[in-house]
Protein backbone atom coordinates (compact mmCIF):
# COMPACT_ATOMS: atom_id res chain seq x y z
CA UNK A 1 0.00 0.00 0.00
CA UNK A 2 1.25 3.51 -0.68
CA UNK A 3 2.38 5.62 2.23
CA UNK A 4 0.81 8.97 1.41
CA UNK A 5 -2.26 10.42 -0.21
CA UNK A 6 -2.63 13.80 -1.80
CA UNK A 7 -6.22 13.72 -0.48
CA UNK A 8 -4.87 13.60 3.06
CA UNK A 9 -6.57 10.43 4.25
CA UNK A 10 -3.51 8.39 5.18
CA UNK A 11 -4.28 5.48 7.45
CA UNK A 12 -1.86 6.78 10.08
CA UNK A 13 -3.48 10.20 9.85
CA UNK A 14 -6.87 8.53 10.06
CA UNK A 15 -5.85 6.85 13.32
CA UNK A 16 -4.34 10.03 14.72
CA UNK A 17 -6.79 11.45 17.18
CA UNK A 18 -8.34 8.07 17.73
CA UNK A 19 -5.98 5.44 19.22
CA UNK A 20 -3.25 7.90 19.99
CA UNK A 21 -5.65 10.37 21.51
CA UNK A 22 -7.37 7.71 23.57
CA UNK A 23 -3.99 6.65 24.99
CA UNK A 24 -2.96 10.25 25.59
CA UNK A 25 -6.06 11.00 27.61
CA UNK A 26 -5.60 7.98 29.83
CA UNK A 27 -5.40 8.26 33.59
CA UNK A 28 -1.98 7.94 35.22
CA UNK A 29 -0.92 6.64 38.58
CA UNK A 30 2.05 8.80 39.58
CA UNK A 31 1.84 11.12 42.54
CA UNK A 32 3.99 13.59 40.60
CA UNK A 33 1.32 13.79 37.97
CA UNK A 34 -1.32 14.41 40.61
CA UNK A 35 0.75 17.20 42.14
CA UNK A 36 1.50 18.70 38.74
CA UNK A 37 -2.11 18.61 37.64
CA UNK A 38 -4.54 19.06 40.52
CA UNK A 39 -7.86 17.43 39.76
CA UNK A 40 -6.33 14.79 37.50
CA UNK A 41 -7.92 11.42 38.18
CA UNK A 42 -5.27 9.04 39.54
CA UNK A 43 -6.03 5.34 39.50
CA UNK A 44 -4.01 2.45 40.88
CA UNK A 45 -4.79 -1.22 41.44
CA UNK A 46 -7.79 -2.93 39.93
CA UNK A 47 -10.83 -0.98 38.80
CA UNK A 48 -14.20 -2.25 37.60
CA UNK A 49 -15.35 -0.74 34.33
CA UNK A 50 -18.07 -1.39 31.79
CA UNK A 51 -18.11 -0.82 28.08
CA UNK A 52 -20.59 -1.60 25.34
CA UNK A 53 -19.06 -4.23 23.11
CA UNK A 54 -20.86 -5.11 19.89
CA UNK A 55 -24.05 -3.70 21.37
CA UNK A 56 -23.80 -5.57 24.68
CA UNK A 57 -22.84 -3.99 28.02
CA UNK A 58 -19.85 -5.86 29.45
CA UNK A 59 -17.95 -5.51 32.73
CA UNK A 60 -14.22 -5.92 33.24
CA UNK A 61 -11.66 -5.58 36.00
CA UNK A 62 -8.63 -3.69 34.79
CA UNK A 63 -5.40 -2.20 36.03
CA UNK A 64 -4.15 1.13 34.68
CA UNK A 65 -1.76 -0.77 32.36
CA UNK A 66 -4.40 -3.17 30.97
CA UNK A 67 -4.98 -2.71 27.26
CA UNK A 68 -8.29 -2.91 25.48
CA UNK A 69 -6.90 -5.87 23.53
CA UNK A 70 -6.25 -7.77 26.79
CA UNK A 71 -9.80 -7.14 27.97
CA UNK A 72 -11.34 -8.19 24.65
CA UNK A 73 -9.31 -11.37 24.33
CA UNK A 74 -8.86 -12.57 27.91
CA UNK A 75 -11.96 -11.29 29.71
CA UNK A 76 -14.57 -11.11 26.96
CA UNK A 77 -13.27 -14.05 24.89
CA UNK A 78 -13.37 -11.97 21.70
CA UNK A 79 -10.21 -13.15 19.97
CA UNK A 80 -10.72 -11.61 16.54
CA UNK A 81 -8.42 -8.65 17.19
CA UNK A 82 -4.90 -10.08 17.14
CA UNK A 83 -1.80 -9.38 19.27
CA UNK A 84 0.49 -9.47 16.23
CA UNK A 85 2.42 -6.31 17.09
CA UNK A 86 1.88 -4.98 20.58
CA UNK A 87 3.09 -1.57 19.44
CA UNK A 88 0.24 -1.44 16.92
CA UNK A 89 2.43 -1.32 13.82
CA UNK A 90 0.64 -4.25 12.12
CA UNK A 91 -2.90 -2.97 12.56
CA UNK A 92 -4.02 -6.51 13.43
CA UNK A 93 -5.70 -5.34 16.65
CA UNK A 94 -7.88 -2.71 14.94
CA UNK A 95 -11.31 -2.22 16.54
CA UNK A 96 -13.74 0.68 16.58
CA UNK A 97 -14.17 2.85 19.66
CA UNK A 98 -17.06 5.23 19.25
CA UNK A 99 -16.97 4.47 15.53
CA UNK A 100 -13.29 5.39 15.15
CA UNK A 101 -10.61 2.87 14.25
CA UNK A 102 -8.04 2.36 17.02
CA UNK A 103 -5.37 -0.21 17.79
CA UNK A 104 -6.71 -2.16 20.77
CA UNK A 105 -3.13 -3.17 21.61
CA UNK A 106 -2.12 0.43 22.28
CA UNK A 107 -5.39 1.67 23.82
CA UNK A 108 -5.73 1.50 27.58
CA UNK A 109 -8.91 -0.19 28.77
CA UNK A 110 -9.58 2.56 31.31
CA UNK A 111 -9.78 5.07 28.50
CA UNK A 112 -12.59 3.05 26.92
CA UNK A 113 -14.76 2.84 30.05
CA UNK A 114 -18.35 3.67 29.18
CA UNK A 115 -17.64 3.77 25.45
CA UNK A 116 -18.91 1.77 22.54
CA UNK A 117 -16.56 -0.82 21.06
CA UNK A 118 -17.08 -2.69 17.80
CA UNK A 119 -14.96 -5.71 16.97
CA UNK A 120 -14.73 -7.86 13.87
CA UNK A 121 -16.99 -10.43 15.55
CA UNK A 122 -19.94 -8.11 14.95
CA UNK A 123 -19.21 -7.78 11.23
CA UNK A 124 -20.16 -11.33 10.26
CA UNK A 125 -23.08 -10.16 8.13
CA UNK A 126 -21.29 -7.09 6.81
CA UNK A 127 -20.42 -6.64 3.14
CA UNK A 128 -16.70 -6.20 3.94
CA UNK A 129 -15.87 -9.80 4.97
CA UNK A 130 -18.00 -11.08 2.09
CA UNK A 131 -15.95 -8.98 -0.35
CA UNK A 132 -12.73 -10.33 1.18
CA UNK A 133 -13.94 -13.89 0.62
CA UNK A 134 -15.13 -13.14 -2.90
CA UNK A 135 -11.79 -11.59 -3.87
CA UNK A 136 -9.67 -14.12 -2.01
CA UNK A 137 -8.18 -11.29 0.02
CA UNK A 138 -6.59 -13.44 2.71
CA UNK A 139 -4.06 -16.21 3.09
CA UNK A 140 -2.99 -17.02 6.66
CA UNK A 141 -5.66 -14.63 7.92
CA UNK A 142 -3.82 -13.12 10.88
CA UNK A 143 -4.14 -9.62 9.47
CA UNK A 144 -7.65 -10.13 8.11
CA UNK A 145 -9.77 -9.14 11.17
CA UNK A 146 -7.83 -5.89 11.51
CA UNK A 147 -8.15 -5.18 7.80
CA UNK A 148 -11.89 -5.91 7.83
CA UNK A 149 -12.52 -3.50 10.71
CA UNK A 150 -10.20 -0.88 9.19
CA UNK A 151 -11.98 -1.15 5.83
CA UNK A 152 -15.38 -0.82 7.48
CA UNK A 153 -14.27 2.33 9.35
CA UNK A 154 -12.63 3.74 6.23
CA UNK A 155 -15.66 3.16 3.99
CA UNK A 156 -17.98 4.62 6.61
CA UNK A 157 -16.01 7.82 6.26
CA UNK A 158 -15.07 7.62 2.56
CA UNK A 159 -17.77 5.57 0.79
CA UNK A 160 -16.70 6.87 -2.62
CA UNK A 161 -12.95 6.60 -2.08
CA UNK A 162 -10.62 6.41 -5.05
CA UNK A 163 -8.04 3.65 -5.41
CA UNK A 164 -5.36 6.09 -4.29
CA UNK A 165 -7.36 7.01 -1.18
CA UNK A 166 -8.00 3.36 -0.36
CA UNK A 167 -4.27 2.58 -0.62
CA UNK A 168 -3.44 5.51 1.65
CA UNK A 169 -6.30 4.87 4.04
CA UNK A 170 -5.22 1.30 4.73
CA UNK A 171 -1.48 1.81 4.90
CA UNK A 172 -1.44 1.30 8.68
CA UNK A 173 -2.41 -2.35 8.23
CA UNK A 174 0.24 -4.84 7.24
CA UNK A 175 -0.29 -8.21 5.56
CA UNK A 176 2.81 -10.35 5.73
CA UNK A 177 1.34 -12.77 3.18
CA UNK A 178 1.12 -9.87 0.74
CA UNK A 179 -2.53 -10.09 -0.30
CA UNK A 180 -2.70 -6.33 -0.82
CA UNK A 181 -3.75 -6.57 -4.46
CA UNK A 182 -6.79 -8.68 -3.59
CA UNK A 183 -7.64 -6.57 -0.55
CA UNK A 184 -7.58 -3.52 -2.79
CA UNK A 185 -9.88 -5.23 -5.30
CA UNK A 186 -12.26 -6.20 -2.49
CA UNK A 187 -12.51 -2.60 -1.30
CA UNK A 188 -12.85 -1.22 -4.83
CA UNK A 189 -15.72 -3.64 -5.44
CA UNK A 190 -17.45 -2.31 -2.32
CA UNK A 191 -17.05 1.29 -3.48
CA UNK A 192 -18.43 0.35 -6.91
CA UNK A 193 -21.25 -1.62 -5.32
CA UNK A 194 -20.43 -4.87 -7.05
S1 LIG B 1 -3.20 -13.02 5.14
FE2 LIG B 1 -1.45 -13.56 6.25
S3 LIG B 1 -0.77 -11.72 7.13
FE4 LIG B 1 -2.36 -11.14 5.83
| pLDDT number for residue 24 | 44
pTM over 0.85: no
Closest approach atom of ligand 1 to CA 178: 4
CATH of domain 123-192: 1.10.150.120
Cβ–ligand 1 contact at 142 (below 6 Å): yes
| pLDDT number for residue 93 | 97
Cβ–ligand 1 contact at 178 (below 6 Å): no
| pLDDT number for residue 30 | 57
| pLDDT number for residue 19 | 46
pLDDT-flagged residues of the chain (< 50): 2-6, 17-26
11-35+46-122 has CATH 3.10.20.30 classification: yes
CA–CA separation, 36 vs 191, rounded Å?
Answer: 49
Q: Domain limits of the chain?
A: 11-35+46-122, 123-192
| Residues whose CB is less than 8 angstroms from the CB of residue 191 and which lie 6 or more positions away in sequence, other chains included | 155, 159, 160, 161, 166
Amino acid sequence: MSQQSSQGVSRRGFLKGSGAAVAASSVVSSTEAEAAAPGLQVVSGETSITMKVNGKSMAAKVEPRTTLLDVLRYQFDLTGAKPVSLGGSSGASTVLVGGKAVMASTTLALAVAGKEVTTCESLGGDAVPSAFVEHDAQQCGFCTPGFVVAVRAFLNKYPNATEEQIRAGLNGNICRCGTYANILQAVISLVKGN
